[in-house]
Amino acid sequence: MGSNKEVIIIGGGVIGLACAHYLIDIGANVRIIEKNEIGSGASHGNCGLLYFSDVITLCSPGIVSHEIARTLKGTSPLYIKPTLDHKLLIWLLKFASKCNASHMTQAAKDKYEILNYSISLFDTLLAMDGMSCDFEKKGILSVFKDQKNFEKHQTINDFLSTYNMGARRIDKKELLELEPALRNDIAGAWLHENDWHLKPDMLLASWRKQLSKKGLIIEEHCKLLGFETNGNTVVGVNTIKGSFKADAFVLATGAWAPQTLKQLKLDLPVQPGKGYSITMERPGICPTYPCSLYEKSMVATPWKSGYRLGGTMEFSGYDDKLNPKRLSKLISGATAFLKDPVGHPVIEEWTSFRPMTYDDLPIIDRAPSKENLIIATGHGMLGLTLATGTGKLVSDMVYGKTPEIDIAPFGISRFR
């Protein structure tokens, strides 16, 4: 196969850019087609954690009863809009069916492979000239308000340690010295020393710039309308700006993947998991570590250039309105853990959709009946973290090279 293939990537989020990066590296001519602007979807205002140690899937034993109990108490960050949408209902039932120890154990192995693969690729990427994104390799603090929850985390940590992803236990006294921004009434924390963080919008802006210098063509405000096909290959895409031909295609439309695949009659179980964030100037007493606030299932991320609170998970379709109640939950959640939870002024209140699969594993595979269309979506809560691994796997698949890790767990056939 020649190295100068023409490749079209649909979707300009972090997954689309990562695919472009490794495809250009291998010698492809790449064009990205994006319906809005590069980095305007979930990749813009997320919490910025490179959470390599997060090998445990969201669907884990006990999570359903735990969330029902929290919903009844009004303390859950999860909201499911009452609905008759049968796709969402089936998705939720399948999610519940995956909340068992055997799925968690197998999926952790699969997740570990791609998380671990992404680390060294990120190391090389972030060392590249011109990549400016407030990147720090400090670790992430998983902070607990309740002593029982803090102690119970030992079991999870033992599990993570089997993958060399264990955290260091930090009791209250040491914690308050290490992170003086935390309130005195917290119980303790686990420090995930091998995790990193960066500012996602800055990453996307500088990555775009570097890739454009290397020849990436970007078509913004260029919504995909459909595919032109010939038997089992895709030959082109129709967009609101006209049609474009290529040798290979990558679909990286995140939570919108099901909509963009309708024409090909490929029904992927990806649901939009709505999340929120508030970006502010750094507060007077700003955390020095990114803090995952356990009981509130949210994150406070500090950067040199700002500060963000992010979290919540809403299953309410593609309604992109900002719900003030969800935003205020982020503030009250942070107030329970931090001395000075809010910075002034607020720079941005934001919402977008995580591409959620019910087994919490990404989808990286060829479209079943279209061999030159590769799908890369379903990265859920970890799309930023998994971007480099995904991009490299996709570029190898486009060039018919054997991927460096087993991609079978990320295949589409698992949903049949």
- Binding residues for ligand FAD, rule: CB under 6 A, are 10-16, 33-36, 40-43, 46-49, 51, 223-224, 252-256, 260, 275-277, 310-311, 352, 354-355, 377, 379-385
CB closer to ligand FAD, 283 vs 355: 355
Q: How far is the CB of 172 from ligand FAD (least distance, A)?
A: 26
Give the position of tokens 């060392």.
127
Q: Three-state secondary structure along 285-325?
A: CCCCCCEEEHHHCEEEEEECCEEEEEEEEEEECECCCCCHH
Q: How far is the CB of 46 from ligand FAD (least distance, A)?
A: 3
CA 393 to chain centre: 17
CB closer to ligand FAD, 204 vs 338: 204
CB closer to ligand FAD, 142 vs 352: 352
101: which 2 tokens? Answer: 């120890």
CB closer to ligand FAD, 29 vs 40: 40
Angle at 178 between CA 175 and CA 183, to 5 degrees: 55
310 bridge partner residues: 277, 299
Q: How far is the CB of 47 from ligand FAD (least distance, A)?
A: 3
195: which 2 tokens? Answer: 């995790």
Asked whether 364 and 375 are in contact (CB, 8 A), the reply is: yes
411: which 2 tokens? Answer: 């295949």
Q: How far is the CB of 102 from ligand FAD (least distance, A)?
A: 25
Q: How far is the CB of 177 from ligand FAD (least distance, A)?
A: 26
CB closer to ligand FAD, 306 vs 383: 383
How many other C-beta atoms are found inside a 10 Å radius of the C-beta of residue 322? 10
Q: How far is the CB of 385 from ligand FAD (least distance, A)?
A: 4
Q: Which residues in 228-264 are b (16+ Cβ under 10 Å) and which e?
A: eeeeebbebbebeeeebebbbbbbbbbbbbbebbeeb
Q: How far is the CB of 259 from ligand FAD (least distance, A)?
A: 7
CB closer to ligand FAD, 187 vs 287: 287
d(CA 139, CA 142): 10
CB closer to ligand FAD, 60 vs 352: 352
Asked whether 352 and 320 are in contact (CB, 8 A), the reply is: yes
